């Protein structure tokens, strides 16, 4: 727990083959997601959201927040539940993170009429959620881990 909190977040311009989109629509959509995170997680120290894309058209939306979390496993379940209607989620899976105190859930759903995987990863200092198109559940989980490593930093 001490190495997970306090945490801060910053969106990099590029992660692997993903580039942060900064066009007006993507910026507006990211701001809306960040506001939804703030409303859903009132005690968050900070929130973030960004939309990334690859050259071959895959889209990754990532959002989350920092702040102390007493029950990360329950928070991961609650985040998937919160997003179930918005993304028509089903078949939630508990994913192994290999990190003590970090809990991850992934579920299959839809975004903008396209099949998607939604994964959320929660530890004692932050929550990071990704919406992935064109990827399997396992690949989405791995990519969320990569994004999380680049976005969230800890002082612990």
- Domain extents in the chain: 7-154
What is residue 37's DSSP assignment?
H
Residue 43: the pLDDT is 85
Residue 132: the pLDDT is 96
Tokens found for residue 44: 């968050």
Which residue stretches of the chain have pLDDT < 50? none
CATH of domain 7-154: 3.40.1000
The pTM (predicted TM-score) of the whole model is 0.96
Cα–Cα distance measured from residue 34 to residue 28, given in angstroms and rounded to the nearest whole number: 10
Residue 58: the pLDDT is 85
CB atoms within 10 A of CB 26: 17
Cα–Cα distance measured from residue 8 to residue 48, given in angstroms and rounded to the nearest whole number: 10
Length of the chain: 156
pLDDT in tens, 119-151: 999 999 999 999 999 999 999 999 999 999 999
Preceding amide of 43 cis, omega within 30: no
Residue 156: the pLDDT is 57
């Amino acid at each position: 727990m001490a190495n997970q909190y306090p945490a801060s977040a910053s969106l990099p311009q590029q992660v692997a083959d993903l580039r942060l989109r900064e066009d007006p629509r993507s910026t507006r959509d990211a701001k809306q997601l960040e506001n939804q995170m703030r409303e859903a997680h009132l005690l968050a120290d900070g929130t973030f959201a960004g939309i990334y894309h690859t050259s071959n058209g895959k889209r990754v939306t990532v959002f989350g927040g920092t702040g102390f979390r007493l029950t990360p496993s329950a928070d991961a379940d609650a985040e998937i539940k919160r997003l179930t209607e918005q993304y028509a989620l089903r078949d939630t899976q508990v994913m192994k993170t290999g990190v003590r105190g970090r809990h991850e859930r992934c579920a299959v759903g839809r975004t903008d009429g396209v099949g998607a995987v939604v994964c959320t990863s929660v530890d004692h200092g932050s929550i990071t959620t990704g919406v992935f198109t064109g990827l399997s559940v396992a690949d989405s989980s791995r990519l969320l881990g990569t994004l999380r490593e680049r976005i969230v930093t800890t002082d612990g």
